[in-house]
Amino acid sequence: MICACQVGARLRPGFSTGHVFAQRYKALVVDRDNYLLQVSRYIHKKRMIPGLYGLTEIVQRVCEVTGIEKEELRRAAREEQIQRGREIFSDVARRYSKASLRESVPYLGARDPSMVSHGVRRAEERFQEDRTFRQQMERIVEKLVHSSIQA
C-alpha cells in the first residue's frame, strides 16, 4: 500500500523527505495500481492552476491560434481578427497569469488598464455567444497546458 502523498516521491526517487512524507499527512491510501495511475494523472493535471503562465507565453499562443502577429496585437486597429485576439489575450492573461491588468497594457499597446478590463468583459460575452471564439480560447489554454507539461 502507498499513500497518495507519496505518489510524487514514487515517481521521482530521491524526493521523499520532509514533513509531508514523514507520515500520513492528510493522505489517502492508494492500494491499487490503477488508482495510483488516476492519482498521478490528477496531480499532473493540477499543473493547470492559474498563475502558471507568463504574459509573453500567452501572447505567443494567442498569436499562434488566431493567426495574427505580435505587432498587430499592439496596433490600434479595429479589424475583427485583431480585436478578437486582444480580447482573448486579455481574458486568458487575467485567468492564467498572476499579472495585473496594468502589466498587460504594454502587450496590447494600450494607454491604460481600462482597455484590458473592457477586453475581458467583451471576451466573457463572446465566450458565451460565439462558438468559434470559445474554441479558440480552449485551444490556447490547451497549448499553454501542453507546453508546461513538456517543460
Transcribe 68-117 into DSSP letters. --HHHHHS----HHHHHHHHHHHHHHHHH-S--HHHHHHHHT-SSHHHHH
- Lowest mean pLDDT segment, chosen from 22-26, 94-98, 111-115, 126-130: 22-26
What homologous superfamily is domain 55-150 in, according to CATH? DnaA protein, C-terminal DNA-binding domain (1.10.1750.10)
- pLDDT reading at 110 higher than 90: no
Of the pLDDT bands very low, low, confident and very high (cuts 50, 70, 90), residue 1 is: very low
Q: The cell 463572446 sits on which residue? A: 126
User: Domain spans of the chain?
Assistant: 2-48, 55-150
Residue 24 three-state SS:
coil
Torsions phi, psi of 29, nearest 5? -80, 130
Q: Residues 58-87: pLDDT tens digits?
A: 999 999 999 999 988 888 778 888 888 999
pLDDT value at position 78?
80
pTM of the model: 0.64
